[in-house]
Amino acid sequence: IPVDPFDLVVIGGTGDLARRKILPALYRRFCAGQMPEGAQVIGAARTEMDDAGYRDFVGAALDEYAQPAGCAERARFLDMLGYVTLDALGDQGWSDLAARLDEGRVRAFYFSVGPALFGPLAERLQRHGMAGADTRIVVEKPFGRDLASARALNTDLARYFTEGQIYRIDHYLGKETVQNLMAIRFGNMLFEPLWNSQYVDHIQITVAETIGVDGRGEYYERAGAMRDMVQNHLMQLLCLIAMEPPAKFDPDAVRDEKLKVIRALDPVKPDDVVRGQYLADGGRPGFREHVGNAESTTESFIALKARISNWRWAGTPFYLRTGKRLRARTSEIAVVFKDTPHSIFGPEAGQHRNILTIRLQPNEGIDLGVTIKEPGPGGMRLVDVPLDMTFAQALGPEAEDVPDAYERLIMDVIRGNQTLFMRGDEVEAAWAWTDPIIAGWTEGAGAPLPYDTGSAGPDEALALMHRDGRAWREIR
């Protein structure tokens, strides 16, 4: 859907996120014909630079990060860019910036900077007359580091902007397959009647990465996997899997339902959490070297068992795990159904379970494990086979070029659609659940356990499920 011309200001426009994600995403939208004539993208940062310098800078970023390489009219895209030298905490640049913006069109300010600057930036936008009703602000994670700091950020922003103007990004919500979770659940009659503790034994959510924390050691040492991944990305996946059907696909209806899930989460017992740290491996530094702290107690891996105390889910545990330097880069959600109540084929047929796996990345698709008869004359032997669908194959070649999450999310900001953004109360509720878990280990519940690069995390994470008579799916 085409959008009207807009002004987008990327504060922190020379930073890593701008180079890697925001600008390549805008370029790809441009190539897809979605950036209207007259739209303006202004980079703003402390570095002294002029428009031409910024165009060169962005050109280099596109060479490195825009995949596939893009389209023929790259020069026209670069012409849409401008640059203002801006002091986030001082006065320099603010009136220049104001003078560049057009009246009467959507203007969005992307705060691609640390949370300490959110409040000061919001205040300056207002002081310089840029906080009117057409203004939207986009803020990146981390949105605070606990409930108190998240509340303080919400309060700061609320002084200058209404909730309807604030777009809190969780880029997982922009992933195509994450949106597909809602399509699968609420666009089919097949799954929803079974989507409860009567039929679902448990749910597993895995976000495994092969990368380490190289280059982000300083941030990561203070965050750890719980704050970096669980409080936001895994929590959002859990919400979309567990929420009640919203009455319609509209921002508040969806976010109300997600919030109810977070509020229904039980506190997690210390015994139900396993933390890990990756070791050095064949010359590659380990976690402690990456964060520059030989005694670091920050986790690069976490597995935990969560419970949702509501009518639908009481009795069905949700097992979550995520980590760096694991065996493979794979993110999936597995809904493991219960055993049939009675086997008419006798004990030799064995117990079989249906498992619905939603593959978020790579190889996006869904796979439903069903039980059929093993071919041959040897009696009624059962075997599990996959009903496997890769979206790209099912939908044809166009679907192979999956848009990056940021493409979708930035255009949603321009369109004014907040469905895929976190509301303030949602973020706070997520921290309210996370804080006591973190307090559990900072109060001495033990250091993270070491694990090898290329493994599935510490063995204790396997034990977390084994003791419940269950097993993680393989990471591969």
Binding positions for substrate are: 171, 175, 209, 228, 324
Q: Facing residues of 388 across strands? A: 367
Distance CA 37, CA 51 (A): 18
- Residue 209 Cβ vs ligand BG6, minimum distance, rounded to whole Å: 5
Distance CA 220, CA 290 (A): 9
CB 186 within 8 Å of CB 253: no
290, amino acid identity: H
Q: What sign for the dihedral angle of Cα 38, 41, 46, 49?
A: negative
Closer of 171 and 202 to ligand BG6 (Cβ): 171
Per-position DSSP letters for 265-307, written without gaps between them: BPPPPGGGEEEEEEPPBTTB--HHHHTT-TT----SEEEEEE-
- Residue 331 Cβ vs ligand BG6, minimum distance, rounded to whole Å: 6
CB 209 within 8 Å of CB 325: yes
Closer of 106 and 173 to ligand BG6 (Cβ): 173
Among 233, 342, 352, 466, which one carries the catalytic annotation?
233
- Residue 126 Cβ vs ligand BG6, minimum distance, rounded to whole Å: 29
Residue 223, CA atoms < 13 Å, CB-side half-sphere: 20
Provide the Cα torsion 184, 188, 194, 197; round to 10°. Answer: 40
From 226, 209, 160, select the one nearest 139 (Cα to Cα). 160
Closer of 326 and 465 to ligand BG6 (Cβ): 326
Nearest residue to the partner ligand BG6, using Cβ: 228
Distance CA 166, CA 145 (A): 19
- Residue 296 Cβ vs ligand BG6, minimum distance, rounded to whole Å: 16
Closer of 322 and 455 to ligand BG6 (Cβ): 322
Distance, CA of 73 to chain centre: 31
- Residue 427 Cβ vs ligand BG6, minimum distance, rounded to whole Å: 14
Distance CA 282, CA 277 (A): 16
Interface of this chain with ligand BG6, residues 201 to 220, rule: CB under 6 A: 209
Distance CA 88, CA 112 (A): 12
Distance CA 1, CA 34 (A): 7
Closer of 42 and 333 to ligand BG6 (Cβ): 333
Residues in contact with ligand BG6, counted by CB under 6 A, come to a total of: 2
Q: Is 233 a known active-site residue?
A: yes
Closer of 40 and 296 to ligand BG6 (Cβ): 296
Binding residues for NADP(+): 12-19, 46, 141
Q: Facing residues of 303 across strands? A: 274, 321
**At a CB cut-off of 8 Å and minimum separation 6, what does 189 contact?**
none
- Residue 282 Cβ vs ligand BG6, minimum distance, rounded to whole Å: 22
**Interaction between residue 299 and ligand BG6 (CB under 6 A):** no
Distance CA 381, CA 371 (A): 10
Closer of 29 and 325 to ligand BG6 (Cβ): 325
Please state whether beta strands 166-168 and 135-139 pair in parallel, antiparallel, or not at all (unpaired): parallel
CB 195 within 8 Å of CB 318: no
- Residue 231 Cβ vs ligand BG6, minimum distance, rounded to whole Å: 11
Distance CA 70, CA 58 (A): 13
Structure token digits, residue 192: 């929803």
- Residue 408 Cβ vs ligand BG6, minimum distance, rounded to whole Å: 13
Beta strand residue intervals within 195-293, DSSP E:
200-208, 273-278
55, amino acid identity: R
Interface of this chain with ligand BG6, residues 224 to 263, rule: CB under 6 A: 228
Closer of 209 and 221 to ligand BG6 (Cβ): 209
Positions annotated as catalytic residues are 233
Q: For binding to ligand BG6 (CB under 6 A), which residues are involved?
A: 209, 228
